[in-house]
Structure 1
């Protein structure tokens, strides 16, 4: 019988979490959609408290900013600057986690 090659869903070919952070960026429509969506959420979280009599939520703004950098801009950066992309990804993750902690506390 003929040996079949590994399927794309095999355990050996699945990327790990660290592979996702250290791989070159893939500029896709998903990255563009994420950049636009989280930009609009960030603007809304900053503008709505300015026009209404509500208290600002800095945790939500930080989460939106972190996700914007992590899912949007880091994927749209130039692939030749891999170290900068990795730094942006880790920094964005730290910003989003800090915002989550501020929001929950």
Structure 2
């Protein structure tokens, strides 16, 4: 099955996150082996974007939590263990999201 957001086809979870946020998820999550200078530049850019659109933080938080949950599941599967990560919507763990009209 193919998924679309507007006229854009979603090929993977990274595409989905980028279409939802309007920015590359790597801006918020970072990349492997980035230098301290690259991290500082990335964080400055992220702060500028959030200054322009403070409501974006809700979506960034949900995407970040989801990415962390998936990473924990992958690590647990690799080690042959189960995880304590609950199978629920990431927004459920951020009480202010619903009050602020956040992602759902």
Q: Quick check: TM above 0.5?
A: no
TM-score range, shorter chain: 0.3 to 0.5
- TM-score, normalisation: structure 1: 0.38
Q: Specify which structure has the bigger relative contact order, considering alpha-carbon pairs within 8 angstroms and separated by 6 or more residues.
A: 1
Query: Highest CA radius of gyration, 1 or 2?
Result: 1
Select the structure that is richer in helix.
1
